Amino acid sequence: MQLIIMAPRGVLCHTAVEKVSFPGALGAFTVLPGHAPLIAQLTAGKIRYTSGAEEREQEILRGFVRIERDTVAANVELPEPGPQK
């Protein structure tokens, strides 16, 4: 399935994945291939996804995700970067 993560600054991720987990407003949930169509609100947390043998994550502040025909498209806001050390 295809995962696309977009933020105001551009596309953060566009890759094939085996599964992806989201911090949903009603609780965390995982999407696998063949998932039913869905639109869900996202809250602060991490999107975690598996591509091949690699596990990755993207921290988000909030957003929403649309799942349709094995395409998972998330529009997100990112947290502000912390102070430089």
Output the pTM of the full model.
Answer: 0.90
Distance CA 17, CA 73 (A): 12
pLDDT tens sequence for the chain (85 residues): 999 999 999 999 999 999 999 999 999 999 999 999 999 999 999 999 998 889 999 999 999 999 999 999 999 999 987 555 5
Q: Which two tokens stand for residue 54?
A: 């690699």
Q: Could you tell me which residues are beta bridge partners of residue 19?
A: 50
